[in-house]
Each structure stands twice: as structure tokens, then as C-alpha cells.
Amino acid sequence: MQSIGVTFVAISFLLVLLKLSSRVELGWLHKILSILLGIAAGILIFAATTDLIYHTSFHYVLTYTGTILAGVTVVSTEVSLFKML
């Protein structure tokens, strides 16, 4: 599930980069990008939280907590960039 979430984040990031480079007009892609970011955030946080609950080893706790923080940071950064466009 995490790989699906990361894929959505990557696609959304590419759309933001394309918009920043003015090579594509987002117009109707605006809603698609918003949906992708929402799905990505949900999938990443759900998958990492589920893994965190079932793996209580310290190593896993650090890994999945890092995944949750990274997912939230990336998605919030993309949303901020998108709002500036």
C-alpha cells in the first residue's frame, strides 16, 4: 500500500513541477491533483499506522513513524506549492 501512496505523491509532484515550469496548464487537472494528493496522504498514513500497530519492534517504530512524517511533510508541501500556483 505504501508504494501506491508514494506513486500518487510522485505523480502529483510531477504535475506541480510541470505547472511551475509553465509547460502545462492545470485547468481541469486541478481536481485530479487534489484527489491524488488526498488519496496519497490517506494511503501513506493508513499503511504506515497499520504497520506501526502490528510491528512493535523499535526498528519498525522508527521506520514507520518516519514514513508517516515524510508522507505528511511531502503532501503538505505539495499542497502549499499548489496553492501558490
Per-residue model confidence as pLDDT tens for the chain (85 residues): 556 666 766 777 776 666 666 655 666 666 677 677 777 777 777 777 777 677 666 666 666 667 667 777 777 777 776 666 5
Count of C-beta atoms within a 10 Å radius of residue 41 = 21
Q: What Cα–Cα distance (Å) separates residue 73 from each residue in 24, 33, 38, 65? A: 25, 17, 13, 12
69: left (phi over 0), alpha (psi -120 to 50) or beta: alpha
What is the pLDDT at residue 32? 72
Residue 50 structural domain? 2-84
Domain count, the chain: 1
Cβ atoms 57, 83 nearer than 8 A: no
Place of cell 508522507: 71
What is the pLDDT at residue 3? 67
What is the pLDDT at residue 54? 73
